[in-house]
Structure 1
């Protein structure tokens, strides 16, 4: 039976971390750790989906004198962001939690702001993505703390790599924005 999520109020239930009995993967972290890690990582999965779509949106709708450079940069960034989704979602499952199940689940958990504007100037695109990537890195650091507190070194290790990649994206976007501002 397929059910649909009707309200964002269901977000807390969706991110409870407790999977159905059939999906309850055993681990040595314990139920409390599983729940805390799941509640820290699932919003990152949602944000990665949302940031991927936002980056691809800007990639598809880029215009201006630096079109080719920005178009290729954003495509590279989108691929890198997309690559984090499966790794993070599978970590949630490996520790015994339940992860993202639908677009409405993503919408309920995401902190990345959607961009539905018909046109966004290149400098505004770069600055928006700088802010979103900075927020993503900060949220990853918070999740890393949760993983550390629960002795989940594997998830923490992935987050360390993803934080570095996110900081690199922020740096490249910043430098591109400086070039555009000059």
Structure 2
């Protein structure tokens, strides 16, 4: 990758750290719903939420390493995740299974928007490695939205 100007690198790193915060927050929410889902679709949703959480946590290290490969720093704590995420907390463990599905679908849409921002920032600075890998993250996100959306029908 060519040497980036400071402003260009800041924009890319900010986008990556935002995606990292959203991914971590969405992972936690998805695990929360995995643990607390109840009702007649328990087994199917319990398993789907666990699969989706595993997919989310599987991207965390790659996102963080993209930041470090730009010689910058990643998020360091729950506090920094909270300050950077667009994913809203959900502490009500009694919400319905349908509400859980809808919330995760919408949150994955939010994450997708953030990932598109990463893609745009990477393309703007010519970071082909980040641009390429974020395509996979967007595709995974779109698949989660698809599965969750189909579950609401």
TM range (shorter): over 0.9
Moved over 4 A (4+): none
RMSD: 1.3
Q: Corresponding residue for 2:74?
A: 99
CA displacement 1:66-107 (0-9 Å, x = unmatched): 111100000000000011111001100001111111110101
Asked whether the equivalents of residues 27 and 96 of structure 1 are also in contact (C-alpha less than 8 Å), the reply is no
Residue 172 (structure 1) aligned with residue 134 (structure 2): no
Which runs of 5 or more structure 2 residues have no equivalent in the other structure? none
Which protein is richer in helix relative to its size? 2
* Cα drift, residue 31 of structure 1: 2.5
Q: Corresponding residue for 2:96?
A: 121
Residue 44 (structure 1) aligned with residue 19 (structure 2): yes
2: CA distance, partners of 1:117 / 1:44: 24
Task: Report how many aligned residue pairs link the two structures.
Answer: 153
Q: Corresponding residue for 2:44?
A: 69
Q: Which has the bigger relative contact order, CA under 8 A and spacing at least 6?
A: 2
1: CA distance, partners of 2:33 / 2:139: 22
TM-score by length of 2: 0.96
Asked whether the equivalents of residues 134 and 166 of structure 1 are also in contact (C-alpha less than 8 Å), the reply is yes
